């Protein structure tokens, strides 16, 4: 299973370029079988621009999460605490193996009646294929639509139409 996260463009870009090593959330997915997280860069981009693997998820008070993550937060202290205002708990998703897509995808092509997730969607779709490279070289990720039938976007869109889960 995979997850599609809505992320503001400035933070999505910071993730892709390695300036943001944690994605912060007030709520977190319940499923533990998440393979990849796809980044939906919100308005004005409105595209799926990258994916990453979850190294771990930290859970604590906003103050303790800030103390642990601030050097790699990719955001100001003020923005962080504004986001968590009134929330007793904070989640920090440690980002690993980011793959930025050279050709971001419009989610309307793969998810029927797409509405940007308020927080996240579960999606049973694999949207990328890693192309060569080793651990020390830059990852080259090609955005491809992978399906069991191999018959393209429309089959994926129709096959998974009822499997997208909003949270």
- The answer to pTM > 0.85 is no
User: What's residue 85's pLDDT?
Assistant: 98
Q: For residue 68, give the CATH number of its domain.
A: 2.30.130.30
Q: How far apart are CA 101 and CA 161, in angstroms?
A: 23
Residue 41 Rama label (left phi>0; alpha psi -120 to 50; beta): beta
Q: Provide the domain count of the chain.
A: 1
Question: Tens digit of pLDDT per residue, the chain (167 long)?
Answer: 999 999 999 999 999 999 999 999 999 999 999 989 999 999 999 999 999 999 999 999 999 999 999 999 999 999 999 999 999 999 999 999 999 998 898 999 888 889 999 889 898 767 655 444 444 334 446 544 433 333 333 333 433 333 444 44
Question: Six-digit token pair at 116?
Answer: 């940007």
Q: Give me the chain's average pLDDT, please.
A: 81
Task: Supply the range of the domain harboring residue 141.
Answer: 2-166
């Amino acid at each position: 299973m995979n997850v599609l996260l809505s992320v503001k463009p400035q933070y999505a870009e910071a993730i892709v370029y390695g300036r943001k090593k944690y994605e912060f959330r007030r709520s977190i997915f319940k499923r533990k079988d998440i393979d990849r997280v796809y980044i939906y860069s919100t308005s004005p981009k409105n595209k799926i621009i990258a994916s990453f693997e979850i190294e771990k998820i930290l859970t604590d008070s906003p103050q303790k999460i800030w103390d642990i993550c601030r050097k790699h937060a990719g955001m100001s202290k003020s923005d962080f605490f504004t986001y968590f205002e009134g929330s007793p708990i904070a989640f920090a998703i440690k980002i690993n193996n980011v793959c930025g897509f050279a050709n971001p995808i419009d989610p309307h092509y793969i998810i029927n009646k797409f509405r940007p997730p308020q927080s996240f969607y579960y999606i049973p779709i694999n949207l990328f294929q890693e192309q060569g490279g080793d651990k020390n070289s830059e990852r080259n990720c090609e955005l491809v639509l992978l399906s069991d039938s191999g018959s393209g976007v429309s089959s994926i869109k129709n096959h998974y139409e009822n499997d997208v889960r909003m949270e």
